[in-house]
Chains A and B, each alone.
Chain A
Amino acid sequence: MEKKKVLVIGSGPIIIGQAAEFDYAGTQACQSLREEGYEVVLVNSNPATIMTDRDIADRVYIEPISLEFVTEIIRKERPYGVLATLGGQVGLNMAVELSEAGVLKEYDVKLLGTILEAIKQAEDRELFKEAMKRINQPVPESDIFSDVAEAVDFANRIGYPIIIRPAYTLGGTGGGIAHNEEEMYMIALRGIKLSPIHQILVERSVAGWKEVEYEVMRDRADNCIIVCNMENIDPVGVHTGDSVVVAPSQTLNDTQYQMLRTASVDIIRYLEIEGGCNVQYALDPYSNQYYVIEVNPRVSRSSALASKATGYPIAKVAAKVAIGMTLDEITNAVTGETKACFEPSLDYVVTKFPRWPFEKFNLADRTLGTQMKATGEVMAIDRTLEGSLLKAIRSLEIGLDHIELKKIAHETPEQLIERLQLVDDERLYVIAQALRVGISVEKICYITKINSFFINKIKNIVMVEKDLAANGVTESNLRLAKKYSFPDKVIARYANCSPEDVLAKRNVLNIHPTYKYVDTCAAEFEAHTPYYYSAYATEDEVVPRGENSVIVLGSGPIRIGQGVEFDYCSVHSSWALRKVGMKSIIINNNPETVSTDFDTSDSLYFEPLTVDDVMEIIRKENPVGVIAQFGGQTAINLAGPLAERGVNILGTSVDRIDMAEDRERFDELLAKLEIPRPVGALVTSDEEALEAAKRLQYPLIVRPSYVLGGRAMEIVYNDQELDRYMKEAVVASKDHPVLIDRYMVGMEVEVDAISDGIDVCIPGIMEQIERAGVHSGDSIAVYPAQHLTEELTEQIVDYTRRIAIGLNVKGVLNIQYIVVNGELHVIEVNPRSSRTVPFISKVTGINMVEYATRIALGETLESLGLPTGLVPARPHVAVKAPVFSFSKMGLVEIALGPEMKSTGEVMGIGRTYADALFKAIHGANMRIPDKGNILMTVADRDKEEAARLAKGFIDLGYHIMATGGTGRYFTEHGVDCTVVNKISEGNPNCADFIREGKVDLMLNTLTYGKKPEREGFQLRRLAVEMGVPCLTSLDTAREVLHVVASRATAGDVITVDAVQDYEME
């Protein structure tokens, strides 16, 4: 019998509001469908994912998720059905588009799972309201508007505060809370513009009420279950994605719990959802009145959390339900005996904590509201809420080991009370500090509206601190501190002793964590899935994996600079270990990932990635070694401290990792290997910096010596800017020197290689489109490099080999080169997995992580049968393009620079460069119209190049608008353009044209300085707010021109091919 074919739609690039959770969901869905004998076709443009691995689906299309492309895939593959409810909002919107465009009908494709009608009823505000009314579920007074003035009138009538939510946008993009008419006007204007259907919902605010969520599943037989309920510590008003959330709910009594449970069941039944669904409520803290706030008729971020919080594999089950199975037919994978038709019971507390990108965006507005700002999240499990909260905080990797913020340590009670009014990412730390200085629980509750239960829990933590400070470490306070999961160094800090003292005392008293199962059933049945967490309790139920085990350190929360690509690497490393007969143990704390699925490894420890927490697991498991090269900076940072404690780090040695990261040792190495690099210096004071600048000459690239994603990296052009940087951006010291390098303009080239310390295998070389100075993570990358001479290529291979051998690399390494005037320089060497590893692995068909893992275990390139040197380029081209989330972040600079800003990436793959580039740019949602107006305003140094580009666009039928200097230059140089006013030159000006929708594309390059008052900054922000594509690099613009030109000759022809169709050998 022919297998039924199903098309699964993925969620595309990672952006704020849609992170790695859909890689987890999509991967589970594909596997689940194949288990049932289906042939799976997958479309997803995000190469950094497990789901786009060629083994996950029968046919994997790494193509843009747009109507044109998905239609073409459907035409080619003719699937029986399409599954769109596991691809986030992107997948859901795609399903709606396909249906409305008649594609599903034309090709006779069935929409699997939830019917379109249900999706619309949940998504369309008006239909939703009507539906809720019909089943007597209360919703806040609200109305839909597509006209700003009418919206403002309505708001004035029902009274402020008012919540504004644009329809069909991710993570509440463009929404907000208005407290007065003026704010109302601004938010409504923006919301209508950003909504793809130009609609906003204007609604009575229930800010301050309890926010509670239920994850519900339903099958076609109408069986319904609640997987999990969750309570937000932050009351209504903060987007749930930005809220600290606990599961299960803590302050609802059974009556309230069941009232909302029943409502959830009524809602999912009425909407006839088949699969997973998320319902959000606002519950009055002073009565049992509630409102239904939102229904997500699909697997969501909360489902991923609920799934990891309970052990119930929501996505797997939802996929089976979508193809018509009923919950009582599906086995509960955790027990292996019982069925998926039950409600998990937790016997622990889960805390989810959002990870915000504010440290990267100094100017970003840190206030939290209805628009989600977090890029990722962590989850922690413990038998106490205090323990779960503290574990979550130290999992965030924001420099905190405790609920304690140094910078507010000396604030007065008055200052703290003032700080408490702010709803921002630091609120819980401020609460802890307020409790430390004696501000009452009642007062804090009154100001923050956070339930006193949670404040009292934080107070419990503070009480332990005080006990430690007053009495030193005693058995009783030590036991309690550990029950609350205080790390040794925090105990030591309060008790004024050393962490070694604390550990010694613990050893004497035998105070070590026990490990417990996450089993969906509170121990009622025996669990078979090896999913564990720590608790300071009496019984340890986990049996160690034995002598053949290896620990793979995960990469923690998704953040800018460390995305899902490192999870991809951890997962592959775990799979490689299993393949060679080792037992893999994963430690990670990110609920959105495939690595934290209970069947990715032999044992999963859901724990913070800190030295203390990892050492306890090592103490228990006694593994052969630890693999640290795949978990990004998170894991590599642990390698040194673990090695110091006698742990065997597999692969490249800690000493050699340090050699690559330590500026002076690295310089020595390169000198010895006779490899050039841009001249630079290491300075520890402002004076030294200015001194060095004289020697090196401007422009210079400056950055702190510890870097992740180019954090706090800048290009400076003169003494003034350098001085400002040294004073404001970093504090240089002996321990934290600042690196200063000559900024060289040239072509950047990047290499990922595998080495066994004897030789090297280079799967491919990538070339970056944007010139050096733009962070490589924000740059468009092309495989294979298009502009390298044979000589340079040979030199790259040679340098790479020398460095790999010099560092005795056993595993992967990543090198960034720059070519200036035909000369090759090394910019950076990372003896660990990089963000391009999944991309290179996918386009070359060489599973780098598997080979690297096996080399770390002792195999060699030769024993693995890998070729040495550069693997010949495959006969196709792939382009990786960055994707940004600027519209979610108020007031951040969007111009590209040395500091990484993108949140995700897409890949375009084709037979030609032009085709691949088109797909990448299209997939990155840079939709450039065929004709239209391009507004150009560029810095003096860029004018000549911009003029050439302008001419190119004009030849293709575009019209150019330019401001002041740019306009004059163009006119003088024969470029036909309309000169428009700058903002300061009166109306109508360029900003007005953007607001009126008269600008289709903007090219704006950075003048010096990054102060927001500058006009360029305002213009760029405006473009983001109004959804106008804005390019800030001439190189990007050149490639866009290239695409537009090639599309003009190609016509509307679109070709799609599955990864399996490309030649990989």
Chain B
Amino acid sequence: MTATATVGQSAEDIIRRIIADITLKPTTSFGLDDDLPRLLSLDSLSLLRIVADIEATFNVRVDDARFHELRTLRAMLGEVNRR
């Protein structure tokens, strides 16, 4: 895992860091509803790496059928809040 959860950080902050680590872009370069593949030229493998980090960090398992839906920070946050 790249990102490490820190006490006091919100889930959104942590996912922002995960995305920033994978994409090498600042945490402020995308909003909750931005389409990440389009905005950050994110390829499918990078998206899957983000999913992997989210699963490992929050100890959740994303439904495989939902991989293609995880294109925004809000959608990723939704997966974490669903646990």
A and B from one assembly?
no
User: Interface on A for B, CB 8 Å cutoff?
Assistant: none
B: which residues have CB within 8 A of A? none
